[in-house]
Amino acid sequence: MDNKMMSGAQIVIETLIEQGVTDVFGYPGGQVLNIYDELYKASDRINHYLTAHEQGASHAADGYARATGKVGVVIATSGPGATNLVTGIATAMLDSIPMVAITGNVPTSLIGKDSFQEINITGITLPITKHNYFVTDVRELADTIREAFQLAKSGRPGPVLVDVPKDVQVALCEFEKQGIVAPFPNKKVSDWRIEKAIEMINNSQRPYFYIGGGAVAANVGREIMELAEKCDAYMGCTLMGLSATPTDHERFLGMEGMHGHFASTMANSKADLIIGIGVRFSDRATGNTSTYCKDAKIIQLDCDRSEINKNINVDLALVGDLKYSLSEILKGVKSRNLPQWDAQVKECLAKEQAIADRAAALAGDRLTPAQVFDIINELKSEDSVVATDVGQHQMWSAQYLRFDKPRKFASSGGLGTMGYGLGAALGAQVASGERSILITGDGSFGMNLNELATATSYNIPTTIVLMNNGVLGMVRQWQTLFYGKRYSNTILDRKTDFVKLADAFGLQGERVSTAEDFRAAFARSLKADGPYLIEVAIDADEFVLPIVPPGGSMSDLITSKEDAAK
Amino acid sequence: MKKFVIGVYVENKYGVLARISGMIMRKAFNIDSIASGMTNDDAFSRITITLRGEDYHCDQLIQQLKKLHNVKSVDVLNKDDCVEREMMLIKVKNSPYNRTEVMAAAEIYRGKIFDYSVDSLCVEVTGEPAKINAFIDIMKPLGILEIVRTGTVAMERSRVLADPTEDTPHSKI
């Protein structure tokens, strides 16, 4: 193979292509002009999506990664371009999403001199990347980008940033094409740990699988289901664990935690064995850690050793390849029936149904979030990725949405980034080729609605369900419950006409306030050619229930507004 | 609270010390000192961190260190078989009275007077942090002008540090 002399900028693009990248998101600027010049020349081999703002590009790369498991790529210029990526990179870090961010920087001779649009982005992103690089020698550029991809997808995935000064982009170097780098393999857990886990599961009377984002990343939904069926366990998940297993599986109880399902949260607290898979026992999922499952044994499976005993002390840790561990455990566990456990959980499920029925009866003619999601579940394709923003609509999405396949839910779980959703929905659509759905609220949507321009420019088929209650609902809910109804800065009362806004950006939009109208509008959106916005009027006093009060235990779950008022 | 001494081998790469100190800051670990220096291999530096906390903090610090890409190995040093040393340069006021006091103390502490001028005396003292602190206490009434300390460096007498990879049923969890 003949090695050609290439500029650093060309090496950046050739290395991305070499690593299997077909789509990148970004925004040009002074210090990435050379890279954009090479993108132009390579436009038949790599697509670039120009967003309205670098933050949108970073969320799009994130959504792309969540939908596929591939590494999402974002490019931005130095200074403000780079700092605009920060929220997107942090979002990916907290949710362990593989991403490579490439930033330009001023020439090395101008570094450290407060030059125009110079910022130390490696310093800024130190705490929010798995690793980052400042490339000073063009001869190290290709290998650095390869290593960035390898790190991003190895072990617990995450974002990696490569900062390339302008003179390195200009400098010439030989380039030899290589293959796609493989992630470092996760180690296999010792036999004695597998045996101990099998023994603990076989001895358990009330086993419960608690599924997190790590299960999505490791694609072990099938193994977990088989295991749950074999040992008669029930399953629940964290926000990040949604879609790892099909939501309609009879042993799947839904998301648990602060706004979790009644049945899964109760089953978790009643279990005598918790098997946590790719979870970090986040405060949102455990509530008060001193009372969390204090009578249960806990097994934790993760590929990141630092998660063991970080938030919760566990009885057995299986650190390594999840697929291997679960397959080995599956071979060893006894096939059992646990009728008592079944009865206990069925009781919780019946209670959950009663709570839902009562809420529906109290709602009267009002359009409720439950109805909105029933219609979405009924009409959406099982291949559609649903992205959300952050707030009440996000928790309703997590509670009500149904998924048959993994990687169909994109939501900012760890960082809780309002404004995440639109970019993510666009990225997920580009990745999957299927219409994506964005569930958002008027607060979150207001943060990054500029990306409507991206949606229309590329005519990206995405259905935006904007649940408009005129308030910052989640914060307002807390103010109602815990701050004496002092609604400090949560009543938006903005004059935005979202239908006109959609029109101005060049997409179709409509406003609905009844279930029938929503059904018709949603069906229309699925047949539309490009993006489509549906504004749904939601009552400002609608609550996300259940709720575990801050600092409370999972058993302190409040299930109705009347109980909450006490 | 316990005290832990942790030995870390790191690659000499861009920003490695900032990566480590930044992680210690953001995870709110309580450290007494961090000292870094070259090793027999140009590609690596050895960092000694002294941590105050409980076993939980020690375990977390080790695991968080291991996650950093440029960190090659992390070990907790066995306190029973470990030599801890710190060096201090201290400058005190010179006067006829001080002179004899400083010289006597320096001799007992096996320090070295490396500078003698009309206004000041400079002493180099090496030893365990407790010894250094004791020397400072003696100098205090004489008028300390300046102190520089290296922070603790430490080494186990017999074991050569490497990443322990063995995983047995006796492992803690």
pLDDT of residue B168: 52
The minimal CB distance from A309 to the residues B23, B68, B173 is found for: B173
- Do B105 and B149 belong to one domain? yes
Q: Per the CB < 8 Å rule, is A133 touching B14? A: yes
Q: Per the CB < 8 Å rule, is A309 touching B14? A: no
The minimal CB distance from B56 to the residues A122, A133, A309 is found for: A309
Q: Per the CB < 8 Å rule, is B173 touching A317? A: yes
- Do B149 and B111 belong to one domain? yes
Q: Per the CB < 8 Å rule, is B14 touching A126? A: no
Q: A360: Cβ–Cβ under 8 A, 6 or more apart, which residues?
A: A368, A370
The letter for the amino acid at A22 is T
Least confident of A7-21, A350-364, A507-521: A350-364
In a domain, B167, yes or no: no
Burial A286-324 (b: 16+ CB within 10 A, else e): bbbeeebbeebbbbbbbbbbbbbbbbbebebbbbbbbeb
B20 neighbors B65 (Cβ within 8 angstroms):
yes
The full set of domains in chain A, from first to last, is: 4-175 (3.40.50.970), 191-340 (3.40.50.1220), 369-541 (3.40.50.970)
- Rounded distance between C-alpha atoms, residue A414 and residue A495, angstroms: 32
pLDDT tens digits for A434-492? 999 999 999 999 999 999 999 999 999 999 999 999 999 999 999 999 999 999 999 99
Q: Per the CB < 8 Å rule, is A317 touching B167? A: no
Work out the average pLDDT over A536-548: 93
A112 vs B: CB within 8 A: no
pLDDT tens digits for A44-78? 999 999 999 999 999 999 999 999 999 999 999 99
Q: Crossing angle of helices A262-270/A339-363, nearest 10°? A: 150
Which residues partner with B35 through β-bridges?
B48
Chain A neighbors of B19, CB-CB under 8 A: 126
In a domain, B161, yes or no: no
Residue B92 belongs to what domain range? 83-154
Q: Is the pLDDT of residue A536 over 80?
A: yes
How far is the alpha carbon of B12 from chain A, nearest alpha carbon, in Å?
A: 13
Q: pLDDT-based confidence at B162, cuts 50/70/90?
A: low
CA angle A149, A83, A393 (to 5 degrees): 85
Chain A neighbors of B173, CB-CB under 8 A: 308-309, 314-317
- Do B65 and B45 belong to one domain? yes
pLDDT of residue A290: 87
pLDDT of residue A546: 92
DSSP state string for A357-412 = HHHHHHHTTSPPHHHHHHHHHHHS-TT--EEE-SSHHHHHHHHH---SSSS-EE--
SS3 B156: strand
- Rounded distance between C-alpha atoms, residue A139 and residue A133, angstroms: 14
- Do B49 and B34 belong to one domain? yes
Chain A neighbors of B14, CB-CB under 8 A: 122, 133-134
What number of C-beta contacts closer than 8 Å exist between A and B?
44
A140 vs B: CB within 8 A: no
Q: Is the pLDDT of residue B173 over 70?
A: no
How far is the alpha carbon of A129 from chain B, nearest alpha carbon, in Å?
A: 10
How far is the alpha carbon of B1 from chain A, nearest alpha carbon, in Å?
A: 18
SS3 A289: coil
Q: Which of B53, B76, B99 is the last residue of a domain?
A: B76
Q: Is the pLDDT of residue A244 over 90?
A: yes
The sign one gets for the Cα dihedral A532, A537, A540, A544 is negative
In a domain, B162, yes or no: no
B21 vs A: CB within 8 A: no
In a domain, B150, yes or no: yes
B27 vs A: CB within 8 A: no
- Rounded distance between C-alpha atoms, residue A137 and residue A134, angstroms: 9
In a domain, B50, yes or no: yes
Closest residue in A to B64 (Cα–Cα) = A306
- Rounded distance between C-alpha atoms, residue A156 and residue A383, angstroms: 25
Q: Return the structure tokens found at B37.
A: 């220096």
Q: Per the CB < 8 Å rule, is A134 touching B15? A: yes
pLDDT of residue A559: 87
- Do B53 and B110 belong to one domain? no
Q: Per the CB < 8 Å rule, is A309 touching B64? A: no
- Do B65 and B91 belong to one domain? no
- For all residues of chain A together, what is the average pLDDT? 96
Q: Per the CB < 8 Å rule, is B66 touching A308? A: no
- Rounded distance between C-alpha atoms, residue A267 and residue A344, angstroms: 8
Q: pLDDT-based confidence at B137, cuts 50/70/90?
A: very high
Q: Is the pLDDT of residue A554 over 60?
A: yes
The minimal CB distance from A305 to the residues B63, B68, B168 is found for: B63
Q: Which of B58, B76, B94 is the last residue of a domain?
A: B76
Q: Is the pLDDT of residue A416 over 70?
A: yes
pLDDT tens digits for B6-42? 999 999 998 999 999 999 999 999 999 999 999 888 8
How far is the alpha carbon of A3 from chain B, nearest alpha carbon, in Å?
A: 28
**What CATH number does residue B90 fall under?**
3.30.70.1150
SS3 A255: strand
Query: Count of domains in chain B?
Result: 2
A316 vs B: CB within 8 A: yes
Cα torsion at A163, A165, A169, A173 (round to 10°)?
A: -90
SS3 B91: strand
Active site residues of A: 54, 116-117, 166, 474
Q: Return the structure tokens found at A222.
A: 């099938």
Q: Per the CB < 8 Å rule, is A314 touching B56? A: no
Q: Is the pLDDT of residue B171 over 60?
A: no
The minimal CB distance from A126 to the residues B19, B169, B173 is found for: B19
Going through A239-302 in order, the beta strands assigned E by DSSP cover 252-255, 273-277, 297-302
Q: Return the structure tokens found at A26.
A: 């970004």
Least confident of A126-130, B88-92, B161-165: B161-165
pLDDT tens digits for A69-107? 999 999 999 999 999 999 999 999 999 999 999 999 999
In the Cβ-directed half-sphere of A551, how many Cα atoms lie within 13 Å?
Answer: 1
- Do B110 and B90 belong to one domain? yes
Q: Find the helix or strand (DSSP H, E) in which B164 lies.
A: none
Give the strands of the sheet with A99-105, arranged side by side: A47-50, A23-26, A72-76, A99-105, A159-165, A131-134
Comparison of pLDDT for A4 and B144, the residue scoring more: B144
How far is the alpha carbon of B100 from chain A, nearest alpha carbon, in Å?
A: 49
In a domain, B27, yes or no: yes
Percent of chain A clearing pLDDT 90 (strictly above): 92
pLDDT of residue B86: 96
- Do B71 and B87 belong to one domain? no
Chain B neighbors of A309, CB-CB under 8 A: 56, 59-60, 173
Q: pLDDT-based confidence at A555, cuts 50/70/90?
A: confident
Closest residue in B to A187 (Cα–Cα) = B165
In a domain, B71, yes or no: yes
**What CATH number does residue B60 fall under?**
3.30.70.260
Percent of chain B clearing pLDDT 90 (strictly above): 84
B118 vs A: CB within 8 A: no
Give, in order, the Cα–Cα distances in Å from A478 to each of A258, A439, A485, A545, B64. 12, 21, 8, 12, 34
CA angle A179, A185, A187 (to 5 degrees): 170
How far is the alpha carbon of B60 from chain A, nearest alpha carbon, in Å?
A: 6
- Do B111 and B137 belong to one domain? yes
Q: Per the CB < 8 Å rule, is B22 touching A133? A: no
Q: Find the helix or strand (DSSP H, E) in which A415 lies.
A: none
Closest residue in B to A152 (Cα–Cα) = B69
Q: Which of B76, B95, B123 is the last residue of a domain?
A: B76
B28 vs A: CB within 8 A: no
Chain B neighbors of A190, CB-CB under 8 A: 167-168
Q: A313: Cβ–Cβ under 8 A, 6 or more apart, which residues?
A: A298
The minimal CB distance from A306 to the residues B14, B19, B64 is found for: B64
Residue A517, burial from CB neighbour count under 10 angstroms (0-12, 13-18, 19+)? middle
The sign one gets for the Cα dihedral A400, A405, A407, A408 is negative
In a domain, B171, yes or no: no
- Do B72 and B94 belong to one domain? no
How far is the alpha carbon of B173 from chain A, nearest alpha carbon, in Å?
A: 5
Q: Is the pLDDT of residue A362 over 90?
A: no
Percent of chain A clearing pLDDT 70 (strictly above): 99
- Rounded distance between C-alpha atoms, residue A127 and residue A559, angstroms: 38
- Do B93 and B66 belong to one domain? no
Residue A409, burial from CB neighbour count under 10 angstroms (0-12, 13-18, 19+)? buried
- Do B63 and B94 belong to one domain? no
pLDDT of residue B172: 45
Complex ipTM value: 0.88
